[in-house]
């Protein structure tokens, strides 16, 4: 029986009730893994079209990510890079299946990377584990810039649930790396987000999708409010975009923007996906299409 991917706010509450902090959660492995000496070895891959699974060593852990390059890809031409992060518990293969980003990359011409979390989760804002996922994903993106010739001005991150939370963490803790993020059914939540100084040091635009029937909606809404207030974002009047769905755009003090889609009838899902576990098709919106449209319009600001 497949375990339904969970938004990690619930897990954080369970951990608190059990007397454990979210940052000490071991992802179900019964304790922290013994650490090997810190080392980073070059990942071995050959840049080419199609899918390629890569294993690299990061701080003593064997870490895995999958790269998808569109047909006709050549390192001679710099392409945008989208890092797509899975929910908990899941992996990169599930993120690819849920989001459909491979087909979008083939259509529009960009690279996609799907990092696997350790024990099927990322050490995001409220869960899971204690791995240095920020460092791992930072190393991954650097390698894709150096070896695959991804465009450093057009690096983006998206994900759902635990992966959505992780996109906010990357925006703050990988300064100068990301141009924009797209958390879906995920948020700027947990203890880190309660610190008013926990903000991106460089402009990172945000597009996010919040379901009105998602039990974690209050947390996500508070996160959007906190992010916007701290960055001095001024919101326009909400627009109706399809059915009961609204879109709110805000311009921020650092020239970044925040666009929020609120889907009243959606739960903890990815809009437009036909996946039976976390997909949602009744609202008529396709998050993958909207995310790429947003990313394409928001490269990193020139220095």
Query: Is the separation of the CB atoms in 235 and 262 below 8 Å?
Result: no
Query: Looking at the domain assignment, is residue 183 inside a domain?
Result: yes
* Cα 69 to Cα 66: distance, rounded to the nearest angstrom: 10
Percentage of residues of the chain with pLDDT beyond 90: 83
Query: Looking at the domain assignment, is residue 286 inside a domain?
Result: yes
Could you read off the pLDDT of 90-113 as tens digits, one per residue?
A: 999 999 999 999 999 999 999 999
Query: Looking at the domain assignment, is residue 35 inside a domain?
Result: no
Query: Looking at the domain assignment, is residue 303 inside a domain?
Result: no
Query: Looking at the domain assignment, is residue 7 inside a domain?
Result: no
pLDDT of 56 > 80? The answer is: yes
Banded model confidence at residue 45, pLDDT cuts 50, 70, 90 = confident
Query: Is the separation of the CB atoms in 129 and 120 below 8 Å?
Result: no
The whole-number average pLDDT for the span 212-233 is: 98
Banded model confidence at residue 55, pLDDT cuts 50, 70, 90 = very high
Query: Looking at the domain assignment, is residue 82 inside a domain?
Result: yes
* Residue 194: CATH number of its domain: 3.40.50.1820
pLDDT of 12 > 90? The answer is: no
Of 169, 164, 87, 152, nearest to 300 by C-alpha is: 152
Query: Looking at the domain assignment, is residue 120 inside a domain?
Result: yes
pLDDT at 301: 81
pLDDT at 168: 98
Query: Looking at the domain assignment, is residue 186 inside a domain?
Result: yes
Total domain count, the chain:
1
Could you read off the pLDDT of 156-182 as tens digits, one per residue?
A: 999 999 999 999 999 999 999 999 999
Q: What share of the chain is helix, strand, coil (3-state, %, to 5)?
A: 30, 25, 45
The whole-number average pLDDT for the span 12-41 is: 34
Q: What is the pTM of this model?
A: 0.87
Q: Which residues span the domain enclosing 223?
A: 51-297
């Amino acid at each position: 029986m497949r375990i339904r991917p969970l938004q990690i706010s619930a897990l954080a509450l369970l951990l608190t009730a059990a007397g454990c902090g979210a940052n000490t959660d071991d992802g179900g492995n019964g304790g922290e893994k013994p650490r090997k000496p810190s080392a980073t070895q070059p990942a071995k891959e050959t840049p080419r079209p199609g899918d390629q699974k890569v294993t690299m060593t990061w701080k003593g852990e064997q870490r895995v990510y999958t790269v998808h390059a569109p047909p006709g890809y050549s390192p001679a031409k710099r392409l945008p890079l989208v890092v797509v992060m899975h929910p908990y518990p899941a992996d990169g293969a599930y993120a690819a299946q849920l989001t459909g980003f491979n087909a979008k990359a083939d259509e529009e011409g960009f690279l996609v990377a799907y990092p696997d979390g350790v024990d099927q989760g990322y050490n995001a804002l409220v869960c899971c584990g204690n791995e240095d996922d920020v460092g791992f994903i930072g190393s991954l993106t650097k390698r894709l810039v150096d070896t695959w010739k991804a465009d450093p001005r057009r690096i983006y991150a998206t994900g759902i649930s635990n992966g959505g939370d992780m996109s906010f963490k990357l925006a703050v803790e990988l300064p100068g790396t990301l141009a924009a993020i797209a958390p879906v059914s995920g948020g700027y939540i947990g203890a880190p987000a309660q610190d008013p100084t926990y903000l991106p040091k460089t402009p990172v635009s945000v597009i996010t999708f919040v379901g009105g029937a998602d039990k974690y909606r209050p947390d996500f809404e508070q996160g959007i409010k906190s992010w916007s207030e701290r960055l001095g974002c001024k919101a326009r009047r909400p627009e109706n975009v399809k059915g009961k769905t609204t879109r709110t755009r805000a311009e921020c003090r650092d020239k970044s923007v925040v666009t929020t889609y609120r889907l009243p009838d959606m739960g903890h899902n990815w809009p437009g996906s036909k996946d039976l576990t976390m997909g949602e098709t009744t609202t008529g919106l396709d998050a993958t299409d909207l995310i790429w449209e947003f990313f394409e319009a928001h490269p990193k600001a020139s220095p």
